[in-house]
Amino acid sequence: MGPTHSIGFETQREEVLGERLPVEGDLPAWLTGRYVQNGPGQFEVGETALRHWFDPLAMLRGFRIDDGVVYTNRFVRSRDFEFARDRGRVRTPFPGTPPDRPVWTRVWQALSSEFPDNPVIGVARFGDELAAVTESAVALTVDPETLATTGRIDLTDGVDADLTLGHPHYDPARETLVNLGVSYGLETTYTLFRRDDTTVETTASLTFDDAPYVHSFALTERFAVIPSMPFGLDRTALLVGTATRQTLLDAFERFDRVGEFVVVDRETGAVVARVEADPMFVYHHANAFRDGDDLVVDLVAYPDERAVTDLVLANLRSESPSVPQGDLRRYRLPLNGGRATFETVREGQLEFPVVDYPRRLGRPYDYVYVAETSSKSGASLPTRVAKVSVPDGKAVAWSEPETYPGEPMFVRRPDARSEDDGVVLSLVLDGRRDRSFLLVLDAATMSELARAPLPHRVPYGFHGQFYADDAPTRSMA
């Protein structure tokens, strides 16, 4: 029998509201708050099978933890979702699936930069509001208790941009969100900005001749580090492809240039360094900090654009999937001139690096938690969750046969005495039982403390946040 990972890419239409879950084991008494994760929920629209892992309609999974676990899941009622439900068609151009619209509508969408509002990447708080987010111009607010969609936030308000990234940072020192806005045209512009409850302030604008794809960026107390790697969009091919039903996936290519890290002073907006680097592709950064005249940047690096193009659902569901290899690397960026160098901290495949955020944001740290895929499993999904020491790469991990743990969410104990004093949460897909469970691990030893089985299986998810009752700040970038 082959691996059971394919059930992680199957639709779950059932929505559950406020169901108390059985708990096997003991939850720490101090663990009180709300864990909300985002990710795919529906993999087809009408008769159209969605093509890429980033295409499915978003579903939130919520866990209220307080002397037990109460579970809720709900689709986000975006315009894309409502159009799919009411008409059985794809409204806007998804990364791998073209819209089911007339050619003139598709061309108008391209010319007017109309992007999907299907918020499938993660969640964030804007003031007192919880919202589902993606790479879009909007975030969709939700009721934190019921996860019902309540409204829309224009994320480009006050920013000259077509859309914003789905991985904003929270700066605890300034109590602001820091993010990048993106504008496409004859040139591509990335705008660094910060937002608090009342104001939006642009810090810097970076212009590129090509259209490098940036999914996330690194932040230190003084600098923002934006990876401009030679992988991204052929804008002409994307525009022309609207008539022939081609997508972002079809227009994704490698540019004929080196890579670079662009280092921006967060206060003045000045570009203090453009550090050349060998080409690589990055989705997620673990952390960054200054070390003398260098910046240290830890991230998950892939060799090339197959990190995007191989994530088609037909490949991921197959019995022998081609899984891009992402390694945990430590880069050193010399601020006084020279190329970037790196060392491999831990070989992949691994993803979803999470640290003690925001307490270690921009500072030296000792541990990062990741989801890893065993090369022997034959699966396209992670098979263990690991605590990795940096920079030596030694690790201790939790695993169980035919289970696929999601992003590891570190939650610090309120009176913690060490960096790893807390728990790790992970929403795990159980391939043997065709259902999911919430896993609670001791963050120091990675031993299991408790699990709470869900009443059903939910598709494998992307990113979440834990908001503690006593300190409701975000738990990851």
Q: Report, as an integer, the average pLDDT of 211-225.
A: 96
pLDDT value, residue 472 = 72
pLDDT value, residue 104 = 57
The DSSP code for 322 is -
Q: Omega into 391 within 30° of 0, i.e. cis?
A: yes
Angle CA 135–177–119, to nearest 5: 25
Q: Report, as an integer, the average pLDDT of 358-386.
A: 94
Q: Report, as an integer, the average pLDDT of 392-402.
A: 96
This prediction has a pTM of: 0.96
CB 92 within 8 A of CB 50: no
Cα distance between residue 306 and residue 279, in whole Å: 13
Q: How many other CB atoms are there within 10 angstroms of residue 99's CB atom? A: 23
Share of the chain above pLDDT 90, in %: 84
Q: Report, as an integer, the average pLDDT of 342-370.
A: 96
CB 16 within 8 A of CB 65: no
Among 203-217, 243-257, 378-392, 399-413, where is mean pLDDT lowest? Answer: 243-257
Cα distance between residue 433 and residue 31, in whole Å: 27
Q: Which helix or strand (DSSP H or E) is residue 16 part of?
A: strand 16-21
| Among 362, 453, 424, residue whose Cα is nearest residue 21 | 453
pLDDT value, residue 99 = 85
pLDDT value, residue 111 = 59
Q: Strand pairing partners for 205?
A: 191
pLDDT value, residue 32 = 97
Q: How confident is the model at residue 378 (pLDDT cuts 50, 70, 90)?
A: confident
Work out the mean pLDDT of the chain and round it to a whole number.
Answer: 94
Among 110-124, 306-320, 345-359, where is mean pLDDT lowest? Answer: 110-124
232 pLDDT above the threshold of 60 = yes
For the segment 31-65, what is each residue's pLDDT rounded down to a tens digit?
999 999 999 999 999 999 999 999 999 999 999 99
101 pLDDT above the threshold of 60 = yes
Q: Report, as an integer, the average pLDDT of 69-96.
A: 95
Cα distance between residue 340 and residue 228, in whole Å: 13
Per-position b or e across 160-198, b if 16+ CB within 10 A of its CB: ebbbbbbbbbbbeeeebbbbbbbbbeeebbbbbbbbeee
Cα–Cα separations (whole angstroms), residue 90 to 5, 8, 101, 407: 26, 22, 8, 28
pLDDT value, residue 245 = 79
Q: Strand pairing partners for 288?
A: 297
State which CATH number among 3.80.10, 1.10.287, 1.10.10, 2.130.10 fits the domain covering 5-468: 2.130.10
Strand ranges (DSSP E) for 148-277?
149-154, 163-164, 169-171, 176-183, 188-195, 200-208, 218-219, 223-228, 231-233, 252-254, 259-265, 271-277
pLDDT value, residue 110 = 66
Per-position b or e across 127-155, b if 16+ CB within 10 A of its CB: eeebbbbbbbbbbbbbebeebebeeebeb
pLDDT value, residue 247 = 85
pLDDT value, residue 28 = 97
For the segment 438-469, what is each residue's pLDDT rounded down to a tens digit?
999 999 999 999 999 999 999 999 999 999 98
Cα distance between residue 225 and residue 288, in whole Å: 9
Angle CA 62–63–68, to nearest 5: 165
Q: How confident is the model at residue 253 (pLDDT cuts 50, 70, 90)?
A: very high
What DSSP string describes 70-83? EEEEEE---HHHHH
pLDDT value, residue 109 = 59
244 pLDDT above the threshold of 80 = no
